[in-house]
Chains A and B, each alone.
Chain A
Amino acid sequence: GQNIDQPTEMTATEGAIVQINCTYQTSGFNGLFWYQQHAGEAPTFLSYNVLDGLEEKGRFSSFLSRSKGYSYLLLKELQMKDSASYLCAPQDSNYQLIWGAGTKLIIKP
C-alpha cells in the first residue's frame, strides 16, 4: 500500500532551524511536494523535488533521497509566521498526490 510518515507535531524557537522529516512508500514515484497550511486556510505550495539532492529556496530547503524513500524540509531563521502545518506529498505513478497527515510546527519566542 501507499504510506506517508511524518511527525505529528514539532516545536522550535524563533530564529532557529528545524528539519521536518518525511518517509514514504508509493506505487511508483514522480516527485515529491511540500505544502504549507496555516490553520483554517488552504495549503500553499512550498517546494518540489524529483531528483535526489537539496533544493534551496530562500529560508526553505527541501531534500530528497529516492532510494531511501525519504525527504525533509529545512526551515532556517524561523519566524512566528512559520507556525503552520507542513504537508509532505509524493506523487505516484499516476501523478496522483498521496498526502501525509502533516506536521504541525509551533514556533515559540
Chain B
Amino acid sequence: IAGITQAPTSQILAAGRRMTLRCTQDMRHNAMYWYRQDLGLGLRLIHYSNTAGTTGKGEVPDGYSVSRANTDDFPLTLASAVPSQTSVYFCASSESSGNTGELFFGEGSRLTVL
C-alpha cells in the first residue's frame, strides 16, 4: 500500500528557477494539502484542495501555486524559487475536508534554494 508518494525526496535548486513538487495518493481521498515545516515552527498550510477541480489558499500561499486536475494528484509549483522557500514540504490527504478524519502524510520533500 503506497498511500501518498512525494517526489523528489530532496532537491537543491538555484534561486529564480521553477520547481514542481509532485504528490500522488492512491486512497481516493477527496481532500489534499501542502504544508511546509521549518525548524521551530509548526506545520504551515500552503494550499489545499477539498475535492478535484477546486483549490484554496492556506496560511502561507505566496510564491506557490497548485492544481487538482484529478483526485489522485496535487502538484505544488514554485514559479521562481527564493531562499526563504528552503524547507521540508509535506503533502497530506484526508477522506474529506469537512470532517474530523486524520491526515495521512507523504514522506516529505526537502528543498534547498541557494
B62 at interface by CB-CB < 8 Å: no
A42 touches B42 (CB 8 A): no
| A96 to B48 CA separation, bound complex (whole angstroms) | 10
Contact A42 B102 (CB under 8 A): no
The residue that B98 contacts in the complex, of A31, A33, A43, A95, with Cβ under 8 A, is: A95
Cβ of B34 < 8 Å from any Cβ of A?
no
The reply to whether A95 and B97 contact each other, CB–CB distance below 8 Å, is: yes
User: Chain B at the A interface: mostly helix, strand, loop or mixed?
Assistant: loop
Within 8 Å CB of B48, what residues of A?
Answer: 96
Chain A residues numbered 58-95 whose CB sits less than 8 Å from any CB in chain B: 87, 89, 91, 95
Contact mask B39-69 → A, CB, 8 Å, 1/0? 0111111001000000000100000000000
B-to-A contact residues, CB < 8 Å: 35, 40-45, 48, 58, 90, 97-100, 102-108
- Cβ A50 vs Cβ B100 within 8 A: yes
Bound complex: CA of A48 vs CA of B58, how far in Å?
22
Q: Which residues of A contact B107 (CB under 8 A)?
A: 41-42
B7 to nearest A CB, angstroms? 14
Q: How far is the CA of A41 from the CA of B97 in the complex (A)?
A: 24
A65 and B109 alpha carbons, distance in the complex (Å) = 35
Q: Which residues of A contact B45 (CB under 8 A)?
A: 96-97
Q: Give Cα distance in the complex from A77 to B99, angstroms.
A: 33
Size bin of chain A's contact surface: 20 to 34
B38 to chain A, nearest CB (A): 9
Check B43–A87 contact: CB distance below 8 A. Answer: yes
Scoring B58, B100, B108 by chain A CB atoms within 10 A of each residue's CB, the highest score goes to: B100
Known: A42-B105, A43-B105, A44-B105. A31 touches B42 (CB 8 A): no
Q: A43-B43, A87-B43, A91-B100 are in contact. List 6 more A-B contacts (CB 8 A).
A: A31-B100, A41-B108, A45-B104, A99-B35, A99-B42, A102-B42
Please tell me if the beta carbons of A99 and B100 are within 8 angstroms of each other in the complex. Answer: no
